[in-house]
């Protein structure tokens, strides 16, 4: 299922986890922009992108980027080294934004049994950045990461972490009432709107009574310059075209309640992509990288050729730093399975 990561690249995942813990100065080159960028109307090109696609045991290759080959999934971002870099950086930005691997506000009124030896499942764990980071904080607990793509580290990982290939849409290979917590983040591009209810039902099944489901999802890019809002609308329209829910971050509380969870925490945080501090610069880099990762599916919608797409990314980065401020929101929601 999906794509596999070579042994050499697995080692690189672990080294990235260590190197990325200082997010302050590693993105400057990627977000520097030229003084002059073409307007979004001038980016159009009559020759629309023609994507070369090949199928192999490692996945599907489109225009030099590797994607999963899981037929049941609507996820449309790559799973290659460049995407792993983005996910690692995104993890530490989110950790800083929410003041911890578990959002600080979620711990105010809720006691999580990590110190006593809990069992935690990370769905869609990707390269395992979150799970390996939090596992070092709680060595007495057991952590299992599941992803449909085998891109997690092989041997270089904390002793209390294991990984499995799996797809929640096909059912999880765990007994009922197995976990104290299930975490999932940025699944906004992973599920069709109608699939969310079944996913939460499966999460509820594997949670112990009193166990927690923790979700962090982003909002749409809708506050900023006309160019930023235009780019955000194209992205949203692509999601709708693929049957996905662009506003799952705001809908998660209701979705959890419909799945019979007791919502015990729901907090929205804002990032401001034009501000010069390290954290907001990291989220600016993430937005640029998100639109770059989506090129195989977005370029035609933008009416931009492959040759012009880097110029589009430069202008998007520049526009995100102009007034009115570009705001991008994240919502953390936690629900508890009734006893």
pLDDT at 28: 56
Contact between 185 and 94 under an 8 Å Cβ cutoff? The reply is yes
pLDDT band at 224 (very low <50, low <70, confident <90, very high): very high
**Residue 331: pLDDT over 70:** yes
The predicted model scores a pTM of 0.86
Paired strand residues for 95: none
> Which carries the bigger pLDDT value, residue 55 or residue 93?
93
pLDDT in tens, 156-198: 789 999 999 999 999 999 999 999 999 999 999 999 999 999 9
- Taking phi over 0 as left and psi of -120 to 50 as alpha, with beta for the rest, 128 belongs to left
pLDDT in tens, 15-35: 555 555 454 455 555 565 443
**Residue 249: pLDDT over 90:** yes
pLDDT in tens, 35-49: 344 333 333 333 323
Contact between 84 and 127 under an 8 Å Cβ cutoff? The reply is yes
pLDDT in tens, 59-93: 788 878 888 887 778 999 998 999 999 999 999 99
**Residue 120: pLDDT over 60:** yes
pLDDT in tens, 139-166: 999 999 999 988 888 777 899 999 999 9
Percent helix, strand, coil in the chain, to 5, is 35, 20, 40
Integer angstrom CA distances of residue 300 from 46, 90, 107, 163, 239: 11, 26, 44, 36, 14
Two tokens, residue 338: 């009734």
Indicate the pairing of strand 207-218 with strand 262-272.
Answer: unpaired
Question: Domain segments of the chain: what residues?
Answer: 7-336
Paired strand residues for 185: 216
Contact between 89 and 20 under an 8 Å Cβ cutoff? The reply is yes
> Which carries the bigger pLDDT value, residue 4 or residue 172?
172
pLDDT band at 277 (very low <50, low <70, confident <90, very high): very high
CATH number attached to the domain at 7-336: 3.40.50.150
């Amino acid at each position: 299922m999906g794509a596999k990561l070579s042994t050499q690249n697995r080692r690189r995942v672990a080294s990235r986890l260590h190197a990325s813990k200082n997010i302050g100065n590693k993105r400057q080159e990627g977000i520097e922009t030229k003084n002059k960028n073409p307007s979004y109307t001038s980016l159009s090109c009559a020759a629309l992108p023609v994507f070369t696609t090949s199928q192999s045991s490692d996945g599907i290759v489109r225009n030099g980027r590797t994607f999963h080959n899981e037929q049941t999934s609507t996820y449309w971002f790559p799973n290659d080294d460049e995407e792993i870099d983005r996910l690692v950086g995104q993890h530490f930005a989110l950790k800083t934004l929410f003041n911890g691997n578990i959002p600080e506000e979620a711990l105010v009124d809720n006691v999580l049994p990590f110190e006593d030896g809990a069992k935690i499942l990370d769905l869609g764990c990707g390269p395992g950045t979150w799970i390996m980071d939090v596992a070092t904080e709680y060595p007495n607990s057991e952590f299992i990461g599941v992803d449909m793509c085998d891109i997690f580290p092989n041997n270089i990982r904390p002793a209390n972490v294991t990984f499995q290939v799996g797809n929640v849409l096909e059912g999880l290979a765990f007994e009922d009432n197995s976990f104290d917590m299930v975490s999932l983040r940025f699944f906004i591009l992973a599920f069709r709107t109608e699939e969310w209810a079944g996913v939460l039902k499966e999460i509820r099944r594997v949670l112990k009574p009193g166990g927690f489901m923790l979700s962090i999802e982003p909002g749409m890019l809708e506050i900023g310059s006309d160019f930023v809002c235009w780019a955000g609308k194209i992205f949203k329209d692509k999601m709708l075209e693929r049957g996905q829910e662009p506003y799952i971050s705001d809908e998660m509380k209701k979705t959890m309640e419909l799945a019979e969870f007791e919502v015990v925490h729901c907090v929205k945080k804002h990032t401001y992509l034009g501000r010069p501090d390290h954290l907001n610069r990291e989220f600016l880099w993430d937005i640029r990288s998100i639109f770059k990762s989506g090129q195989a599916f977005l370029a035609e919608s933008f009416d931009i050729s492959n040759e012009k797409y880097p110029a589009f990314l430069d202008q998007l980065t520049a526009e995100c730093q102009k007034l009115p401020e570009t705001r991008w929101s994240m919502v953390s929601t936690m629900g508890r399975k009734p006893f």
